[in-house]
Structure 1
Amino acid sequence: MSNLPPHEIHAKTGINQFDVFIAGSGPIGATYARLLTRHGYNVIMTEIGDQETRVPASHKKNEIEYQKDIDRFVRVIQGALSTVSVPPASTVIPQLDPSAWRPEDPSQMTLLNGRNPNQQTYDNLPAESVTRCVGGMSTHWTCATPEFFKENGERPKIFPGDETLDDDEWKLLYEAARNLIGVSSTEFDQSIRHNTVLHTLQKAFPNRGIKPLPLACHRLAKGSPYVRWHAADNVYYDLFDQSLFGKVNSEGIARGKFFLLTNTRCTKLHTSNPNATKDVNVGVAEVMDLLADRFTGSDQHKQVSFAINAKVYVVAAGAVATPQILANSDFGGLEGQQGKALLPALGVGITEQPLAFCQIILNQHIVDDLKNLNGRPQWWKDAVEAHRRAHPKDPLWIPFQDPEPQVNIPVTKDFPWHAQIHRDAFSYGEAGPRADSRVVVDLRFFARQAREPKNKLTFDKKITDVYGMPQPTFKYLPTTQYADEAGKMMKDMTEVASALGGYLPGSEPQFMAPGLALHLGGTVRLGHGSEINESVANFNSQVWNFKNLYVAGNGTIPTAFAANPTLTSIALALRATHHIVKVLKADPNNLKPAVPEEKLEATPKEYLKWLTDPTNPDFPDHHDLQKEHKEVIVKAEPSHT
């Protein structure tokens, strides 16, 4: 147990022990906070980054400047991503001025500062990155929210012995997750580009189930060129409004209190029974005040590390930082520790997604056909005619602000990869001035990789990252099981691309750097009782042999998956919150550890009724979440005279 002083949040709030501590403020951590405060529990959350948006945890792409020029958002994404593991680089510069410093020992001619000397180049995930801010990666994600495909094993089996029960559980969880984050497939129905790409592909590939891409967003008004992209703020909803503490919900439960500490690193978890291997209980979370840490070593030095006390602890800090915190707590995942740790499977058997990409310019015949307005819906005709009147010399019959295409070729048994055909911003793929963006289409195809125990994420306390945490190191090579799939996926992408147009020079079909999909999985994988040695937690997300520790996020997904994982991670988090509510309600002072023989229960429909019944007063209304920002108001500081 730690001897650290209690964090000032305890004294400020008068809460000596919070019900739940959450590390990480992304959409998954937000799911835990929203559901647990709804049931009256007091929640404290820490975020290593700062609040970077006016509305906490909102999507940065909602700014007008990026909706008018999507290519500019590429820079925002690049600036938000921090690469996880960078191998040392040579300092040998042949053209260097002879008077400049250089190492005299050839064995030391490598750049170590900010680099990972443990990382080999050949087995790295060089593009795997993290985002540190309130809302995490949801502040710049694509908002793509497909469900996992059952038939090829992509969707995990919560109840492997009962297919009907498993189907019913996922149906409930997915429906609730969609409504919580606000998913729609109709927001681009009145887009010329979207309908052109969608119908072209449906005609060319009639048996592929091609459909609009499900997205967490809503259009601001019918016919508007602007959408509101959803992020973690849609999950938090009004949770940051402290005037609503104690608000009674539709079930007659008074809302608990919620506090978020930014610039606060969750360093490690301390157990109250350090030598225990079963019935392990987390006593406190050790956190660091990063703002106070800036004065370390100066005459303004302050205490920087504190303890936060809670009954239950949830680590939802992302697929890299979640196992990093657990490794720093000496639970597992450290170099040479596997097999001798509380969690021998921590970071073992990681998965990622091979990503193929290209950009095309729409075919001449497709573009020429847009001049034929016969049979087009009235909104289409009105938009084109208004554009022609305003810009008669424009060779394209597409309004300048016509919404982009957002099309999905879903995973199927015969084509087990996920495809997004759209025009969106990633950390790459900027079209720039090379072509008119209205006829540029991006194709992104995501394959899957099998679990392989040799593929792992380990940590080293002797080497730290820039935030002072154990340095992550990847040991990852593509698996042979799905190697052929990736090759077939590339061939499929070229066939889809050829149905749409010709390649944009510089964006011909290519596999992107491993990790660039940013869909790392399996770092804290879930499993069943028979899989206790190959998993970190059970399907309640409760860590094996721990009484009060839960893990969350994409790292919990144990299967090989090709589709975007966020919706599935939210679904698993919804299930986990019910388990926490149940055990806290039963006996908060006598929590039971996760053990193999524990029988899993289905999530009661009544528990999620407010997320599945649109007539419920608490059903989320994503259209009225944010107030428009029309003026800047600075509140004067109170006078001390």
Structure 2
Amino acid sequence: MSTRQYPTSVDVVIVGSGPTGSAYARILSERAPEATIAMLEVGPTVSNPPGAHVKNIADPVERARAQVASEGPGERGEKVASPGAAKAGVRGARPGTFLLEEGYAFEGEDGLPVVAMSSNVGGMAAHWTGACPRPNDSERIAFVPDLDELLDEADRLLGVTTNAFDSAPFGAIVRERLSAAVDEGRVDATKVQRMPLAAHRRDDGRLVWSGSDVVLGEVTRENPRFALFDETLAVRVLVEGGRASGVVARDLRSGDEHTIAARFVVVAADALRTPQLLWASGVRPEALGRYLNDQAQVVFASRLRNMPLLDTHDPTAGLAEYSGVSWVPFTDDMPFHGQIMQLDASPIPLADDDPVVPGSIVGLGLFCAKDLRADDRVAFDAEHVDGYGMPAPRIHYRLTDHDREVVERARQEIVRLAEAVGDPVGDRPFTLPLGSSLHYQGSTRMGVADDGTSVCDIDSEVWGVPDLFVAGNGVIPTATACNPTLTSVALAVRGARKIAAVLAREQVATKSASA
């Protein structure tokens, strides 16, 4: 599936190998099997199969090596997200990610101090928590009429399940205690429940987390017309006659540049690097990079009361599955999304126990919806470049008074939830540095009209540049608090279906003309 023989032309070129780029490849492989597809990824292949989640790598040394290899073009090394560092607001990236060296904040602004990215086959989906909740209330995109069907399809592509932790002995207890504190007045969809997770069980019972490998599926891996090129930088999108016509790609191993003509171009880089590539290509709609939003994140921990001690576990064998992952859904009345998980599943350590007594600590996290503002943006200029030589992302970002009120409400609510679950650990919750959620959205947002407030239409096709599509969390136009991957994959499905339909019509027309 990985090759260095760059094609001169393909039907579709996809920039980025994360879950949305992989969704395009999967849907096209299923619906347009005659289409030739080239996928370009700036980072290396770090797992087998390509795009697999690094948590599935059993050897901790190999897992750490895969994480380091994902940390972009700058200096790499061991990274520890310690409780002390998080509480102090210290800039530090999680393993498998890297930070902006500069331009993450400007004087008088809040900025996104720990805004982070990954460069590897599979993108951030090789490192994520796998949470795939559905949007609720105002999180939903009202102008997408088939949103629920698209979310169903995203569930299929990501391999989402709600029963991965059914055997966890403490899961039902945690949810029962949360439900008593939360559920009154809520409809069934927003009551406390199991977190939908992109994960499945092997026959031997081991938990396997979905990455882009699951999204691609066997149909894509076995597609002879699909090729993946890792360590390949898309330098610019080519636009001829007002339409996207291909890309210029640089082989980072050799430094050679290749022009790949394409009937369609899909840019699925991430919420920072997708607008970066469009800007570098001279495709600069008014809303490009604007309406950028992160989810402010408040975290706390609680020690379960009256729980029997369980046997210790082998830390190299994967997660200790005690309480599983539970979900407190967003509502407009309570504008945050709750993710409650056993401590060793949490991406941020929340207690200083060393070692943590298995099953004793539950981590709680609340993600807050953001006021959407055009001035919150990622910007680019000709003077600043990143480690790849591309225009460097420069973040302009402020919390509004309302945002601060929501964060304070979340701090109060998380204490209430921690007390409902058990005995809070520590004196107070802490608010992580902005950018910690890794859920950046809005920078290539979808809209219903080319009125300067959106970058693409309902099919994710860029306004004014036919045949150029964008994908990823940046396309989401609403203020969400829930994890965005399921929604962004759902939107990618819609765009991929449009491309597949056009290719099918053109194929029929070609056959008719030659008959």
Same fold flag (TM > 0.5): yes
In structure 2, the partner of 1:142 is 129
Q: What is the distance in 2 between the residues matched to 1:589 and 1:85?
A: 50
- Contact 1:18 1:309 survives alignment (8 Å): yes
CA positional deviation for 1:428: 4.8
In 1, Cα distance between equivalents of 2:408 and 2:474: 26
2:346/2:363 contact within 8 Å kept: no
Say yes or no: does 1:264 pair with 2:232. Answer: yes
Is 2:415–2:424's contact at 8 Å kept on the other side of the alignment?
A: no
Secondary structure at the aligned position of 2:129 is classed as coil
Q: Structure 1 CA distance, aligned partners of 2:173 and 2:240? A: 61
What secondary structure, in the 3-state scheme, does the structure 2 residue paired with 1:292 have? coil
| Contact 1:85-1:473 within 8 A present in 2 as well | no
Amino acid of the residue matched to residue 56 of structure 1?
P
Contact 1:311 1:588 in 2 (8 A): no
Give the alignment's Cα RMSD to 1 decimal: 2.8
Q: Aligned in 2, Cα 1:241/1:352: closer, same or farther, shift over 3 Å? A: closer
Instruction: Call closer, same or farther: CA 1:493–1:456 in 2, change over 3 Å.
Output: same
Give the Cα–Cα distance (whole angstroms) in 2 for the partners of residues 421 and 65 of structure 1.
27
Does residue 519 (structure 1) correspond to residue 462 (structure 2)? The answer is no
> Match of 1:284, SS?
strand
Match of 1:487 among 400, 408, 411: 408
Q: Indicate which of 244, 247, 263 corresponds to 1:282.
A: 244
Select the residue among 51, 57, 61 that pairs with 2:51.
57
- Kindly provide the CA deviation profile for residues 596-634 of structure 1, in whole angstroms up to 9, marking residues without a partner as x: xxxxxxxxxxxxxxxxxxxxxxxxxxxxxxxxxxxxxxx
Identical-pair percentage: 29
* Aligned counterparts, 1:1-80, within 5 A: 8-10=5-7, 16-38=8-30, 39-40=32-33, 41-64=35-58, 78-80=94-96
Q: Deviations over 1:491-530 (max 9, x none)?
A: 111100011223334x84011100110111110011112x
- Specify the alignment match of 2:360 in structure 1: 439
Aligned partner of 2:209 among 229, 244, 247: 229
Match of 2:289 in 1: 347
Question: For residue 388 of structure 2, what is the aligned residue in structure 1?
Answer: 467
CA drift of 1:64 comes to 3.2
Distance between the aligned counterparts of 2:101 and 2:329, measured in 1? Answer: 32
The answer to whether 1:554 aligns with 2:473 is: yes
1-structure distance, mates of 2:247, 2:348 = 34
8 Å CA contact retained: 1:24, 1:46: yes
Q: Does 1:405 align with 2:303?
A: no
Q: Would you say the 8 A contact 2:172–2:323 is kept in 1?
A: no
Q: What residue number does 2:202 align with?
A: 220
Q: What is aligned with 2:268?
A: 316
Query: Which amino acid in the other structure matches residue 568 of structure 1?
Result: T
Other-structure match for 1:82: 98
Q: Secondary structure at the residue paired with 1:438?
A: coil
Query: Are 1:126 and 2:87 counterparts?
Result: no
Q: Give, as a single letter, the amino acid of the residue that structure 2 aligns with 1:35.
A: I
Residues paired across the two proteins, number = 468
Offset of residue 200 of structure 1: 2.1
Give the whole-Å Cα distance in 2 for the aligned partners of 1:427 and 1:493: 16
Task: Give the superposition deviation at 1:262.
Answer: 0.6
What residue is the counterpart of 1:175 in the other structure?
A: 152
Give 3-state SS (helix, strand or coil) of 2:383's partner. Answer: strand
| Mapped contact 1:202–1:210 kept (Cα < 8 A) | yes
Q: Does 1:154 align with 2:139?
A: yes
What CA deviation, in whole Å up to 9, does each residue of 1:6-55 have, x standing for no partner?
Answer: x9522xxxxx5211000000010000001112212110010000000121
Aligned residue identity for 1:509: P
2:6 is paired with a residue of what secondary structure? helix
Match of 1:631 in 2: none
1:361 corresponds to which of 303, 311, 328? 303
Aligned to 1:458: 379
Whole-Å separation in 2 of the counterparts to 1:497 and 1:403:
17
Matched AA of 1:37: S
* 2:281 corresponding residue in structure 1: 329
Contact 2:448–2:458 (CA under 8 A) maintained in structure 1? yes
Q: Distance in 2 between matches of 1:291 and 1:432?
A: 44
User: Are residue 583 (structure 1) and residue 502 (structure 2) matched?
Assistant: yes
Q: Conserved in 2, the CA contact under 8 Å of 1:265 and 1:290?
A: yes
The Cα shift of 1:417 comes to 1.1
Report the counterpart of residue 573 of structure 1 in structure 2: 492
Q: In the TM superposition, what is the alpha-carbon distance from 1:427 to its structure 2 partner?
A: 5.0
In the TM superposition, what is the alpha-carbon distance from 1:350 to its structure 2 partner?
A: 1.2
Q: Distance in 2 between matches of 1:331 and 1:430?
A: 47
Report the alpha carbon displacement of residue 431 of structure 1 after superposing the two structures with TM.
4.7
Q: Highest CA radius of gyration, 1 or 2?
A: 1
- SS of equivalent residue, structure 2 residue 227: strand
Shift of 1:241: 4.0
Q: 1:220 to 1:404 in 2, by over 3 A?
A: farther
Distance 1:59 1:550, change over 3 A: same
Distance 2:503 2:56 in 1: 38
Deviation of residue 587 (structure 1)? 3.9
Where 1:237 maps in the other structure, the secondary structure is helix
Q: Do the aligned partners of 2:25 and 2:220 also contact (CA within 8 Å) in 1?
A: no
- Alpha-carbon displacement from aligned partner over 1:111-144 (angstroms, at most 9, x marks no partner): xxxxx7x844843201110000000011110100
Whichever residue aligns with residue 141 of structure 1, its letter is: W
For residues 86 and 501 of structure 1, what CA distance do their matches in structure 2 show? Answer: 41
Is this contact kept in 2: 1:350–1:523, CA < 8 A? yes
What is the distance in 1 between the residues matched to 2:320 and 2:295? 33
* 1:49 partner letter: G
Give the corresponding residue for 1:606: none
Contact persistence 1:450–1:559 (CA under 8 A): no
Deviations 1:540-570 (A, max 9, x none): 1000011210000000011110000000001
Q: Secondary structure at the match of 1:64?
A: coil
1:271-323 CA-partner distances (Å, limit 9, x unpaired):
123xxxxxx21233011111113xxxxxxxxxx22211110000000111100
Paired residue secondary structure (1:18): strand
Measured after TM superposition, the shift of residue 65 of structure 1 is 5.2
Task: Look up the match of 1:185.
Answer: 162
Asked whether the equivalents of residues 14 and 38 of structure 2 are also in contact (C-alpha less than 8 Å), the reply is: yes
Query: Given residue 513 of structure 1, which amino acid in structure 2 is its aligned partner?
Result: P
- Asked if 1 retains the 8 angstrom alpha-carbon contact of 2:301 and 2:351, the reply is no
> C-alpha separation between the residues in 1 aligned to 2:128 and 2:108?
27
Q: TM-score, normalised by structure 2?
A: 0.84
SS at match of 2:381: strand
For 1:120 and 1:60, locate their aligned partners in 2 and report how far apart those are by CA, in whole Å.
37
Counterpart-to-counterpart distance in 1, 2:466 and 2:341: 45
Aligned residue identity for 1:9: Y
Secondary structure of 1:34's aligned partner: helix
Name the CA distance, whole Å, in 1 between partners of 2:230 and 2:419. Answer: 48
Structure 2 equivalent of residue 291 of structure 1: 253
Closer, same or farther: CA 440–557 of 1 in aligned 2, 3 Å? same
2:88 equivalent in structure 1? none
Which of 305, 322, 339 is the equivalent residue of 1:420? 339
Q: Compared with structure 1, are the counterparts of its residues 344 and 589 closer, same or farther at alpha carbon in structure 2 (3 Å cutoff)?
A: farther
